[in-house]
Amino acid sequence: MHIEAIRLQNLRTFVDARIAFADPDDSAGRSTGNVHVLLGGNSAGKSTVLRAIAASVLAPVLERAGGLTGHRWLRRSPAGSGDTAPPADDIARVETGVRLHRQDLLGRARLPLHMQVERMGDLELIDWLRPADASLARELRQVQQVRDASAFFLVAYGASRWVDLQQQVPRVGALPLPQQRWHRVASLFDNRGLVPLAGWLPAYAAQNPGRYRQVVNLMNRLLPQGCRMIDPPRPASVEAADMFEMEGVALPFRGLSDGYQAYVGWVGDMLYQLCQGARSGRKLVDSHGVVLVDEIDLHLHPAWQRALLPTLATALPAIQFIVTTHSPLVLGALQPGNVAVLEPDRVRGTRIVRLAERVHGQSADQLLLSPYFGLDSTRPADVSDALEGLRRAGEAGDPAASAAYLRLLSCGEGGP
């Protein structure tokens, strides 16, 4: 399954918006066609898009799910917006078009998934809008509820994600399939901990050595230079086995820096979910599905932000990644077709646009000053204001201002 498009109506910041996730055309042959990035300021609706995708895909098994009812989904008309504001409605709708793979067990190429959120008193409840074809509705629900964990494979990670080192991993794997599907996306909706790598991977070495080897190889392809997984792990320390080596030093997960823990945490959970969803005999790299990540650059050093998306896209080419970020460094290896920009409007609702401006090869400053981020300067506000004042004075004929302008421009202060 891959997401082809989503339409959001009366949903939080959106009045009626649509985004298509077509694979971008890249004549240079770079392997980033399975990556889609959502840009926009805070409150533009980036997280809402991710949640709407997850909720609509899983609506056949999560309708009226308690984990979703605590969120405000319905759009509120902005105060003081006048008669031009759209009326507040008691129903929001999401239509998600998915492209299916034989892994999804429905025997068709495409499928629209519909859900609505309806206000019921003080609650907002999610309902799955069943297809008109009753047999298709039954089959879709059966596939998601009982037939196969690999079908409609989707995992999601919220910005508040964290690893629950006390989580009982075997218990997660033994849950009924609908609850397993909810666990895969729960951190996008609440403060749910992720499955710890040390809680499941060491057991695979004895129980399923082929899968264990695939996980180690994938993790080492996904880790930044200078960090690798130790195979086999060193004997357990007081807290846990040493599973990683950083610049030659063996460390357990807790010994990694916060940035590495944040990254390894969600990647390790993703690989666990892939292992749970992949059929016996199928390689993990051949698994199809969707991974949603909010604030993918969270805690990552700029050097790793630059390589992050190409690394993910190349290591897992059959997975579609839909992510949000505020970092220009994440974008530098992409094409305009990889990026969608959310532009908020208090009255008409957030618009989702594609820009034609170049992305690949641009510096962080160039991207920040481009329409993708829309900054008028990357300097501190006081320095930017001082430069503008000196520029105007210089243009008015003040030679001292022109000299001061050049000193400030080159030194960042009043002069050397």
* Residue with the larger pLDDT of the pair 52 and 278: 52
d(Cα 33, Cα 362) in Å, to the nearest integer? Answer: 18
Q: Which residue has the higher pLDDT, 68 or 221?
A: 221
Q: Are 143 and 150 in contact (CB under 8 A)?
A: no
Rounded to 5, what percent of the chain is helix, strand, coil? 40, 20, 40
Write the CA distances from 312 to 74, 161, 281, 293, 323, integer angstroms.
34, 18, 23, 12, 12
Residue pair 36/338 in contact by the 8 Å Cβ criterion: yes
Mean pLDDT score of the chain, rounded to an integer? 87
Exposed (0-12), middle (13-18) or buried (19+): which is 248, by Cβ within 10 Å?
A: exposed
Structure tokens at 119: 């206000």
Better pLDDT: 33 or 85: 33
Residue 15: closest CA among 81, 88, 79 = 88
Q: Where along the chain do its domains lie?
A: 1-151+318-363, 154-287, 379-416
**Residue 27: pLDDT above 70?**
no
Which segments of 38-109 does DSSP mark as H helices, in order? 46-62, 66-69
Give the Cα separation of 35 and 291 in Å (integer): 10
Is there a contact between 116 and 92 (Cβ–Cβ < 8 Å)? Answer: yes
- Amino acid symbol at 12: R
Domain 1-151+318-363, classified CATH 3.30.420, yes or no: no
- Give me the pLDDT at residue 384, please: 79
Residue 266 DSSP class:
H
Q: Using one digit for the tens of pLDDT, what is the confidence trace for 110-149?
A: 999 999 988 877 778 888 999 999 999 999 989 988 888 8
pLDDT in tens, 290-327: 999 999 999 998 989 999 999 999 999 999 999 999 99
Higher pLDDT residue, 414 or 260? 260
The two structure tokens encoding residue 369 = 């000053």
Average of pLDDT values for 154-174?
A: 84
* For range 344-358, the mean pLDDT: 92
Please report, as a single letter, which amino acid is at residue 160.
S
pLDDT of residue 17: 96
The one-letter amino acid at 227:
C
Q: Which helix (H) or strand (E) holds 292?
A: strand 289-293
Give the rounded percent of residues in the chain with a pLDDT score beyond 90: 53
- How confident is the model at residue 79, as a pLDDT? 60
pLDDT of residue 85: 46
